Amino acid sequence: MNLYNLKYKMFGERSILIEWPQEINNNILQNILSFKNELKKIYCGKIYAKNSYNSLLVSFPNKINTSNTIFKIDSIYKKLKYVKKQIYKCWEIPVCYEIEFGKDLIFLKKQLSIDIDEIILLHTSNEYKVFNIGFLPGFLYLGGLNKKIHYPRKNKPDLYIEKGSVGIGGGQTGIYPNESPGGWNIIGKTPIELFNSEKKRPCFINPGDNIKFTPISKKKFSLIKNLVEADEYKIKKTMIND
């Protein structure tokens, strides 16, 4: 595993912010996640570690000696080349791209000069890497969107986006796990529940996993939705070794 020249910064009395090069790519993501997993393993789960595209925030239960802590965790990082590759999952997420669910499809068709069928084809052709989970619990930031369907977020966000809506924001695609305001261009909807606070694992998807969108009919959407609500739907997944 390649190592990067990291930057370490004090972040309050109990935290260290670790920064990687300001790029969005899978190599950096795998590097961050391997470091994150190794720290949690060494500290026996007693730390809080939250990653983004290019950084990792590590928080300790008590006030720390910043210099000593940075020295220790940097020593752990330099041994990462001996760490085994992580095993992740590719989740198959069904999406209905009917106009009633994809309210911005007609707008994108005009702006991109691409037929709706081609937008759907391009959106479902790739596997997407889960780079981060934010701004809502369970909101997936996915990389790997075909450049032909890149389109900026809206200047004026919508006040209401339905739960399960699939959207495009710049060069990313993502799924709204709950009803909320939002500025992404909505192209479809999934019946899958991405976040449930009542479950032991509220969000079953992790950074580093892949997402594959599968187009479904409105009838199939209703069928899967009923199964999800009855807790009887099993999401298809395959194992990947990144």
Domain containing residue 181: CATH number: 2.40.100.10
Residues with Cβ within 8 Å of 228's Cβ and at least 6 positions away in sequence, in order, are 191, 192, 193
Let me know: does 68 contact 23? Beta carbons within 8 Å.
Answer: no
| Domain co-membership, 69 together with 124 | no
Q: Give the pTM.
A: 0.86
Q: Are 93 and 130 in contact (CB under 8 A)?
A: no
- Given this model, what pLDDT does residue 201 score? 83
- Whole-number pLDDT of residue 132: 86
Number of domains, the chain: 2
At residue 238 the predicted structure's pLDDT band, cuts being 50, 70 and 90, is: very high
* Nearby residues of 35 by Cβ (< 8 Å), 6 or more positions away: 18, 56, 76, 77, 80
CATH number where 61 lies? 3.30.1360.40
97 falls within a domain: yes
Tokens of 131: 């780079």
pLDDT tens by residue, 82-119: 666 778 999 999 999 999 999 999 999 999 999 999 99
If asked whether residues 28 and 101 sit together in one domain, one would say no
For position 242, what pLDDT does the model report?
63
Would you say 166 and 188 are in contact if contact means Cβ atoms under 8 Å apart?
A: yes
> Is 83 or 24 the better-scoring residue by pLDDT?
24
Write the CA distances from 122 to 186, 187, 216, integer angstroms.
Answer: 15, 12, 15
The pLDDT assigned to 82 comes to 65
Same domain, 22 and 106: no
Q: Tell whether the model's pLDDT for residue 36 goes beyond 90.
A: yes
Read off the pLDDT of residues 6-18 as tens digits, 9 standing for 90 and up. Answer: 999 999 999 999 9
List CB contacts of 75: < 8 A, sequence separation 6 or more: none
| 124 vs 201: which has the higher pLDDT | 124
Q: Is residue 210 situated within a structural domain? A: yes
Q: For residue range 179-207, what is the model confidence (pLDDT) as tens digits? A: 999 999 999 999 999 998 888 888 999 99
pLDDT of residue 179: 94
What's the average model confidence in pLDDT over 200-220? 94
Whether 1 maps to a domain, the answer reads no
- Domain, as residue range, for 46: 7-82
The residue behind tokens 């990687």 is 20
Provide the pLDDT for residue 83. Answer: 64
pLDDT, position 124:
98
Per-residue pLDDT, 202: 85
pLDDT at 175 over 70: yes
Q: Are both 73 and 176 inside the same structural domain?
A: no
